[in-house]
Amino acid sequence: MDSSLIKKPILNYLDRVESLLNDEVSSDIKISFDVIKHLINKPGKRLRPSIVILSALVLGKRINKKILSAAASVELLHNASLIHDDIVDQAEIRRGLKSANKIWGDHATVLVGDFLLARSLFLVNKCNSNDVMSSVTNAASELASGQILDIMISKRLIDFNENIYFKMIKLKTASLISSSAEVGALLSTNNSLKVKKLKTYGINLGISYQLVDDALDLRGSSKKMGKNTMEDIKEGKVTLPLLIALKKAPIKEKKIISAILNKKNFDRKNLDILYNFVLDNDAIEETLKTASDYSSKAISAIQSLDESKYKDSLIALARENIVRIS
């Protein structure tokens, strides 16, 4: 199903979220205004606010200002994390445009990221719910912890393996998607079992999304990704496709690949070696199979909820994720 069809039942609510985002991030300081406008004018998929709204509607709740504030809050937190992530990675492209840090520099851009984080917390406070505040602030903390772990892995400060990798993506990516589903539910019901089901949906969907992103970095297109491909390898990151290939490779080949990764000598020749190494070991296909398994877990988590077009959209989001690479 096309993503526009998935979001069709909530388009009017997403429009209200857009208006709220524009209102909340206005600034009299020109550079702040310019950086934020640069991001807002080229919006992403709005996945997280969509999940907040769908998670509320699937439980029969009418959308109100608190839910819209929560939806805008998680989107601002997500954008703050992207700004900080781009600075750490020295990324040059974001959403098909030159990244903010490459236009305005690291010093100004990191402070705009802090500004967005502060506005995110301001918005979530409007929900008047300690549980919602705890969910979002915990996600912010886990997101930062995941970024730190990512840096430690890329700098080889810790040994990397699949357990460390999955811990990192649960923190860095899945935590906020899980929180998005959780806060939509928390603002809709006191039924802790239903809240847990949607939170479980979110954590599994988040893991699946990151796995597909890792595969797209190797086999996708810059246009589809909104950023350059092969960036993870160039930054010294070890993602699941590489881990799978390393596990399957004979010892001699494993030593050659590990030497390239540890020395971070990523010239064109070595990038081709790494790319072919992943392809030859069918690691992208195995990564996508794992992503599909997590999408199935996400769907299973909400199967017992009442049937509705909103439940259909949540299920379609999980299924659509896998076809992003096709």
Cα distances from 49 to residues 15, 23, 55, 176, 206, in angstroms, run 11, 16, 10, 11, 14
**Does position 22 have pLDDT exceeding 80, yes or no?**
yes
Percent of the chain with pLDDT over 90: 60
What pLDDT is stored for residue 266 in this prediction? 78
Yes or no: say if 302 and 274 are a contact pair by the CB < 8 Å rule: no
**Average pLDDT over the chain, rounded to an integer:** 89
Burial bucket for residue 192 (CB in 10 Å: 0-12, 13-18, 19+): exposed
The C-alpha atoms of residue 125 and residue 228 are separated, in whole angstroms, by 36
**CATH dotted code for 3-325:** 1.10.600.10
What pLDDT is stored for residue 326 in this prediction? 56
Percent of the chain with pLDDT over 70: 92
Yes or no: say if 172 and 143 are a contact pair by the CB < 8 Å rule: yes
The C-alpha atoms of residue 265 and residue 276 are separated, in whole angstroms, by 16
Yes or no: say if 220 and 96 are a contact pair by the CB < 8 Å rule: no
Q: What does the pLDDT look like over 111-168, one tens digit per residue?
A: 888 999 999 999 999 999 999 999 999 999 999 999 999 888 887 777 789 999 999 9
The C-alpha atoms of residue 72 and residue 22 are separated, in whole angstroms, by 10
pTM above 0.75, yes or no: yes
